[in-house]
């Protein structure tokens, strides 16, 4: 069954907004006491007093139960706007509602749909952050999720210890997740603290170890990464050719917050240039044996998104304010982190200077 067939035959026959992630997946940040379902909807606070009385409410919050009620009724929860934007591009558009549901058995999907919306449901997948320790301070992150952002300094000494990681997973079946979306200087600019050569060496070492089922590379698609996204995808294809289709996979997740870093802040002409680069890339690879169906779909939907969608999200119509925020943020970012926008993204300089 293709991804589109799954949407039409499994999800939409329940309701046009049903998504199993609302029942079975949680992202939980213990440091801030917040949760959401998949990582796209805005996080909301867990009620700690209620959790003391019933630990299952750590995941089954009032907010999620209300969202489930809406999904059963075919209404669209506002927090899931990421998926609605994609689906509104056309009836063939495949949103993450498909990918976040497809990972569960069909019987589990049926059970979720038939369970009363206010019931407490057991999790099947969990992304949990025990605290906010992170050695990066990516430009689109914030102090709630990164200790480096809290201190606004570099080099916390929290480098990944790959030896320890590799030693500790013997005999386990593990998928490993890492994030990136551009190459070289651009990657080091966007993800402050990342060293491109170290990151690629680490990925290659993990691939060579053959200790992971798959290494998933999550791309957060922001305005700046489009500059070298096609080169980054090429890098992933090289790893796939060397290690096999399933050894490494990627997803393209389109950034919505902070909205001034959305790809949609770029002027039409730059967006067209970047879209065309992706079209060239996809033309060359779409029927490759090394690509998964979801990878082809993710690139195609980004191409469509850059072409069709005009506003980052419904509360961000104020384009002059977004452009002003973009300029102010990166001016400060350069000063505080010792970076240079102009040297890192020379083709964006005329537009950036005009802001």
Binding stretches for ligand SF4 (CB under 6 A) = 19, 21-22, 37-38, 40-41, 80, 82-83, 95-97, 100
Q: Are strands 25-29 and 125-129 parallel, antiparallel or unpaired?
A: parallel
**What tokens does 329 get?**
């943020």
Q: Which is nearer to ligand SF4, 42 or 244 (CB)?
A: 42
Nearest-approach distance from CB 10 to ligand SF4, in angstroms: 14
DSSP string covering 9-71, please? IIITTT-TT--THHHHEEEEETTTTEEESSSSSPPEE--HHHHHH-GGGGTS-HHHHHHHHHH
What's the CA gap between 98 and 81, in Å, rounded?
Answer: 14
Nearest-approach distance from CB 133 to ligand SF4, in angstroms: 26
Nearest-approach distance from CB 80 to ligand SF4, in angstroms: 3
Q: Which is nearer to ligand SF4, 22 or 65 (CB)?
A: 22
Nearest-approach distance from CB 328 to ligand SF4, in angstroms: 29
Handedness of CA 195, 201, 206, 207 (dihedral sign): positive
Q: What angle do CA 139, 145, 313 make, to 5 degrees?
A: 60
Q: How far is CA 61 from CA 35, 175, 298, 313, in A?
A: 9, 28, 30, 24
Q: Which is nearer to ligand SF4, 14 or 22 (CB)?
A: 22
Nearest-approach distance from CB 262 to ligand SF4, in angstroms: 16
Q: Which is nearer to ligand SF4, 83 or 217 (CB)?
A: 83
Q: What angle do CA 171, 172, 175 make, to 5 degrees?
A: 140
Total H helices, total E strands in the chain: 17, 9
Q: Which is nearer to ligand SF4, 96 or 295 (CB)?
A: 96
Q: Which is nearer to ligand SF4, 83 or 223 (CB)?
A: 83
Nearest-approach distance from CB 8 to ligand SF4, in angstroms: 16
């Amino acid at each position: 069954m293709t991804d589109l067939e799954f949407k039409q035959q499994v999800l939409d026959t329940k309701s046009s907004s049903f998504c199993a992630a609302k029942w079975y997946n949680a992202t939980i940040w213990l440091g801030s006491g917040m949760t959401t379902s998949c990582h796209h909807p805005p996080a909301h606070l867990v009620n700690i007093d209620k959790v003391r009385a019933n630990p299952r409410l750590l995941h089954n919050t009032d907010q999620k139960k209300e969202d489930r009620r809406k999904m059963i009724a075919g209404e669209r929860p506002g927090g899931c706007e990421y998926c609605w934007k994609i689906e509104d591009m056309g009836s063939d558009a495949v949103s993450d509602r498909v990918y976040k549901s497809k990972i569960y058995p069909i019987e589990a999907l049926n059970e979720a749909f038939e369970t009363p919306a206010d019931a407490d449901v057991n999790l099947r997948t969990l992304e949990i952050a025990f605290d906010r320790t992170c050695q990066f301070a990516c430009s689109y992150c914030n102090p709630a999720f990164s200790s480096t952002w809290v201190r606004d300094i570099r080099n916390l000494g929290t480098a990944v210890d790959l030896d320890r990681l590799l030693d500790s997973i013997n005999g386990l079946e593990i998928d490993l997740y890492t994030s990136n979306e551009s190459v070289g200087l651009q990657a080091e600019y966007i993800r402050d603290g990342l060293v491109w050569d170290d990151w690629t060496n680490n990925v290659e070492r993990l691939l060579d170890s053959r200790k992971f089922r798959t290494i998933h590379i999550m791309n957060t698609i922001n305005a700046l990464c489009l500059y070298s996204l096609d080169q980054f995808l090429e890098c992933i294809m090289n790893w796939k050719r060397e290690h096999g289709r399933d050894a490494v996979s990627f997803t393209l997740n389109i950034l919505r917050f902070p909205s001034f870093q959305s790809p949609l802040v770029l002027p039409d002409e730059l967006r067209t240039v970047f879209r065309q680069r992706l079209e060239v890339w996809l033309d060359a690879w779409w029927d490759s044996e090394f690509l998964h169906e979801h990878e082809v779909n993710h690139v195609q939907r980004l191409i469509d998104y850059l072409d069709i969608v005009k506003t980052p999200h419904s509360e961000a119509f104020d384009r002059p304010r977004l452009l002003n925020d973009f300029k102010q943020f990166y001016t400060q970012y350069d000063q505080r982190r010792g970076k240079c926008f102009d040297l890192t993204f020379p083709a964006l300089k005329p537009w950036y200077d005009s802001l």
